[in-house]
Amino acid sequence: MEYAIGADIGGTKIQVAAVDREGCVICRHLVPTEAHLGPGQVMEKVLTGVELTLSRLPGDAGIAGIGIGSAGQIDFASGTVAFAGDQLPGWTGTSIKSRVEERFGLPAYVDNDVNVVAVAEQLYGAGRGLDSFLCVALGTGIGGAIVEAGRIVRGAQGCAGELGHVSVDFNGPRCDNCGNNGCVELYASGSGIARLGRELIAESAEPPVWRPDSREIAQAWLRGDPQAARVMDVAIRALAAAIAGYIHMCNPQAVIVGGGVSETGPSFLEALDREVRVRTSPSVRSAYRLLPAYVGNDAGVIGAAAQVWLYSDGQ
């Protein structure tokens, strides 16, 4: 049996696993990132995780390579971190690929965490058989990954896919992260929904039954709470406007949505899909489907590992 090792490096946890060609995971290894310890310690945790995973595999297992997904902006060609923010302090500049290849003598592939999720969806999930789709990762912020002509779009510096910083109101509040006004992340991410919730609380004579937390607000919305509906209506319309703009720009076959409030149930995706369809021309609307992310919690390690199969096969 042949395996690829996948490692998913996030701001709070590092997950390492062995994954086979069909995307089945064995030998999971999970540790807290403890990013405050600095990039050297984080790198050591990754290397130790890979070592432990390799040691647990049966003696006759073949290892095709090591794939890594990391938070931040990654230069795929060199496998180094082009930019990482507060989530992973000091991580910018780390040569992940060369460190891993030196230590294990195996080919390594490094991309950002949302791009590897798109790889997982393309090989095993909602993107199977599709040439062009957008992956939307709804979390504290909003991430994105673009597949076009079957390949991840990385852009000039590996920074492509930042759906969160698409403006949906050029007169809207200024985004501290990028300088644009009215970034969709300010309305439809976990922190954006919480922000809208706080605004509603400040304006309301009667305080809502929920705290300004995106999951609480989404749950209240599902129960029919009218104040939560006011917040979620803004979030859904803003996200739909950004997705509709992307559909007009790139005319994809699908938009795959995962993470955060999208996991509260199908109502969210149904409402989002309705709003996207209202906001798109028939010519681009007919090709497009809104799909829930399929691969789930292990998508990070599965996609990280899947890079080995995808790129060592000559793509």
Binding residue for a copy of itself (CB under 8 A) from 244, 256, 291, 310?
244
**286 contributes a contact to a copy of itself by CB under 8 A:** yes
Contact at 8 Å (CB) between 72 and 83? Answer: yes
**180 contributes a contact to a copy of itself by CB under 8 A:** yes
Binding residue for a copy of itself (CB under 8 A) from 125, 212, 252, 303?
252
Segment interacting with a copy of itself, rule: CB under 8 A, options 99-107, 203-211, 234-242, 296-304 = 234-242
Strands 13-20 and 2-9: antiparallel
**241 contributes a contact to a copy of itself by CB under 8 A:** yes
Shortest Å distance, C-beta 50 to a copy of itself: 28
> For residues 42-81, which are near a copy of itself according to CB under 8 A?
73
**158 contributes a contact to a copy of itself by CB under 8 A:** yes
How many Å apart are CA 33 and CA 40, to the nearest integer?
11
- Residue number with CB closer to a copy of itself (7 or 243): 243
Shortest Å distance, C-beta 102 to a copy of itself: 27
Binding-residue total with a copy of itself (CB under 8 A): 58
- What tokens does 241 get? 């406007």
- Residue number with CB closer to a copy of itself (163 or 257): 163
What b/e readout covers 206-241, taking b as 16+ CB neighbours within 10 angstroms? eebebebebbbbbbbbbeebebbebbbebbbbbbbb
Shortest Å distance, C-beta 65 to a copy of itself: 23
**169 contributes a contact to a copy of itself by CB under 8 A:** yes
**251 contributes a contact to a copy of itself by CB under 8 A:** yes
Binding residue for a copy of itself (CB under 8 A) from 7, 146, 232, 306?
146
CA terminus-to-terminus distance, the chain: 23
Dihedral, CA of residue 297, residue 303, residue 305 and residue 311, to nearest 10: 180
**83 contributes a contact to a copy of itself by CB under 8 A:** yes
Q: Which long-range contacts (CB under 8 A, 24 or more apart) does 279-283 make?
A: 279/240, 279/241, 279/244, 280/244, 280/247, 280/248, 281/248
**314 contributes a contact to a copy of itself by CB under 8 A:** no
How many Å apart are CA 125 and CA 232, to the nearest integer?
27
How many Å apart are CA 108 and CA 68, to the nearest integer?
7
Shortest Å distance, C-beta 91 to a copy of itself: 14
Nearest to 97 by CA among 79, 70, 120: 79
- Residue number with CB closer to a copy of itself (179 or 226): 179
Residues 6+ apart with CB under 8 A from 73: 81, 82, 83, 84, 112, 157, 158, 159
What residues make contact with a copy of itself under the rule CB under 8 A?
Answer: 73, 82-83, 131-132, 144, 146, 148-149, 151, 153-171, 177-182, 237-238, 240-242, 244-246, 248-253, 278-281, 283-284, 286-288
